[in-house]
Amino acid sequence: MTNEKYAVEHHKYSQRLTELEQRSAAARQRQKERKSPKAHVGNKIRGIRIKRYVSNGERVLKLVILFSLILLLMLYIISPYSKIKNIQLSGNHDLTRTQVEKETTIYPGRFIWGVYLNRNKLAKQAKQNSPQIKNITIKVTGPQSIKLVVKENALLGTAVINNDTYAVLANGKLQRTKSANNGIAYKRFDGHQRALAATATQLGKLKPAIRNGISSVNYQPTKNYPNRIIIYMRDGNTVYADLNTVGDKLAYYPAIAASMKDKGIIDLQVGAYSYSYGSKDK
């Protein structure tokens, strides 16, 4: 009887202990479930903080690089390394390097950034300062290097007007000069500057090979030919022409001269024909 009673009590105790262990396990499971979302939120917060640190670091690095570049640029602008050291010049024939530098105000020692920022204005001023400059292009080729590409109005010769000597340019403009060159001598144009400008513009159309063969041009209008000019060629021929059409007609001079047996006169005023000096004027 006693053994049976003990067995029953032992069974009840075992059941009780099993129930307590199950409750304890359930309680621990619930506790884990309650703690798990908190850990997940904590991980999220730590991830956000890390991203913020990285993003802020990138922003700071970009700002540092930007301000460093600005500082370097400012130091370059005020340093001797931003001054022009080399000037490359091309396209000039009659103009010298000194003249181009004077008219453009671009010279060694000037700040290169000032030239670059005002390049269009400097080119415009150069054309205004010198009629010989038809166009000029200013290029920056290095930290201290500039290239000037000049296009000239060709220097055709000289004319004396009111006792002053002028260089005659291919665009018809005049420029004071102290000495005559070996180009075309324009004569008897004193008081006829419009006629001189028209003649020079026409002769400026010619190829240099033909233009260089002209020794002098005389303005000699007549009643029948009020725009007549007489051209004396270096090969010994004489050309009568109209100052408004001479540029187009004189282009055929080489072919006409080649067909002549003797030196003589080529009349281009109306049509085109030639005759030797010994024959009767037509």
Residue in the structure block whose two tokens are 């500082």: 71
- Sign, CA dihedral 130-132-138-144, equals negative
Its CATH architecture, for the domain 82-152, is Roll (3.10)
Q: What is the pTM of this model?
A: 0.66
| Domain 170-276, architecture per CATH | 3-Layer(aba) Sandwich (3.40)
pLDDT at 70: 83
Distances (CA, A) of 214 to 15, 53, 237, 267: 136, 83, 10, 15
> Going residue by residue through the chain (282 aa), what tens digit of pLDDT does each one get?
555 655 666 666 667 767 767 777 676 766 666 655 555 555 667 667 777 767 777 787 788 888 888 887 777 677 778 889 999 999 998 889 999 999 999 999 999 988 999 999 999 999 999 889 999 999 999 989 999 999 999 889 999 888 889 999 999 999 888 776 668 999 999 989 999 999 999 999 999 999 999 999 999 999 999 999 999 999 999 999 999 999 999 999 999 999 998 999 999 998 888 999 987 554
Q: In whole angstroms, what is the distance from residue 71 CA to residue 90 CA?
A: 36
Nearest alpha-carbon partner for 193 in 174, 171, 175, 165 = 174
